[in-house]
Amino acid sequence: MSDNTPIIDARGIDKFYDAHQALRNVSLTVGAGEFVALVGPSGCGKTSLLKILAGFEEASAGTLAIDGRSMIGVPSSQRPTRMVFQKLALFPHKTVGDNIAFPLKLARTDRAETDRRVREIMGLMHLSEAYRDRYPAQLSGGEQQRVALARSMISNPSVLLLDEPLSALDVKLKKSLQAEIKRLHRSVGTSFVHVTHDLEEAMMLADRICVMRAGRILQIGTPSDIYYRPSDTFVAGFIGETNLIAVDLERRGSAHAFANGAIRCAAPEIAARQIADGLSPGRAVLMIRPEMIALEGAEQEPGECTMEGTVDEFFIKGASIQYRVAVDGIADPVIAEVQGTATPPADVGERVRLGFALADVFILATE
C-alpha cells in the first residue's frame, strides 16, 4: 500500500488536440506502491492522461512531477515510467529473451547482469526458461502479454502505466493475468496506473479508482467509497448495477429522513454519512445496491424498509438470482440480487415484498 509521498503529482492538467479539449483541469496524485485504476466511458480522456504521464503527449496546461522531479519537457525515455499497451508492441523478429532484455541493452547493461535480470523477471512472470529462445508468434496472447509486462518491469520503473493490457484476451486468460498483475504489483513495490473498461477488474486490482467523464475526474476513492458512496448518479450507475429511486430528503431536527410513497419504513432516518457531500433537503435520489435488497418470504425477517411489487423478470446467474420487480410508484423496475438457489423463490407475475436495511442506502443529488 502507499505511504504519503506522492510518486505522481499531476495538477490542473488540460489537454487540447487542436480545438478539442480532451482533459479539463485534471489533478491526480499516486502514492509509492499504490495501484490506481482509471475508468470512464470511451473517449473520456483516460489514455490521454496516461500518455501525458508517460511523456508520449505534452499537457497543454498544468504541472506534472514524478519522483519529485518536474516532467515538463522531459522525454518519455528519460522518465521513470514504462507503459504496457493493449496492442502488443513486442519485436516479432527478436526472441522472448531479447525482447525482455531490450531496455537493458539500451542502457548498455553488461551481459551477466542482463542475463541474471532476464531470468529473475521471467521467474516473477511465471514464464518458463524454455520460452526464452522462442519468438512472440510462438506464444499465446496471454504469454505475449506476460512478456510485455516482463519487458516493462525489467528496468525497475517507479511507475508502470497499463493501457487496457488485458482487453484483447479471452475471459479465462484475463482472470489469470489479473491475478498475475496483482501478484506482480505486490512483489515489486512499483506504482501502477491501470486504464480499464472492466469495472470488476478495477475493483479487484486497485487501491483507489479514479472515475472520469468528458475530460474531468468525477471521483477518486477506494473501491468501497466509489461503490457505496458515489459522488453522483453517473458514478453510481457506471460502477455496477444499482437502483436509483427519486425521494424527498427532509430534515428532522438534527437528523435527515427520506420520503417516497412506495417505500414504507418505520423511521426512515439516516446518518449524515449516508448523504452525499453538500446535499441539502429537497428532491434527491436514493441509491441502494441490488444485493442489499432481500426478497421477503416466510423465513426472511422483514427489513426496516419495504416495497411491494410484481416480478417482471428474473435471471438465474448461478451464484445469485437477479429479480426485476415492478413497484407501484417507482418508475424503473427495482433490481434485487438474491442468493442463488436451485428453486427460485418467486416466479414472473408473482406479488413479492422487497426489504432493505436503512444502513444500506445512500442519498445523492438528482442529475
What residues line the site for ligand ATP (CB under 6 A)?
17, 20, 22, 40, 42-48
The minimum distance between CB 273 and ligand ATP, in angstroms, equals 31
CB closer to ligand ATP out of 46 and 117? 46
Burial of 244 (0-12, 13-18, 19+ CB in 10 A): middle
CA dist 252 and 124 (Å) reads 58
The minimum distance between CB 18 and ligand ATP, in angstroms, equals 7
**Sign of CA pseudo-dihedral 67, 69, 72, 76:** negative
CB closer to ligand ATP out of 215 and 303? 215
CB closer to ligand ATP out of 47 and 243? 47
The minimum distance between CB 1 and ligand ATP, in angstroms, equals 27
The minimum distance between CB 160 and ligand ATP, in angstroms, equals 17
**DSSP secondary structure of 63-104:** EEEETTEE-TT--GGGSSEEEE-SS----TTS-HHHHHHHHH
The minimum distance between CB 22 and ligand ATP, in angstroms, equals 3
Non-local CB neighbours of 349 within 8 Å, separated by 6+ positions: 310, 311
CB closer to ligand ATP out of 17 and 91? 17
Number of H helices, E strands in the chain: 8, 21
CB closer to ligand ATP out of 43 and 282? 43
CB closer to ligand ATP out of 167 and 320? 167
CA dist 139 and 169 (Å) reads 13
The minimum distance between CB 338 and ligand ATP, in angstroms, equals 33
CB closer to ligand ATP out of 52 and 295? 52
CA dist 294 and 290 (Å) reads 9
CA dist 201 and 351 (Å) reads 36
The three cell numbers locating residue 216: 474531468
The minimum distance between CB 224 and ligand ATP, in angstroms, equals 24
Non-local CB neighbours of 113 within 8 Å, separated by 6+ positions: 104
CA dist 137 and 158 (Å) reads 30
Query: For residue 71, how many C-alpha atoms fall within 13 Å in the half-sphere facing its CB?
Result: 30
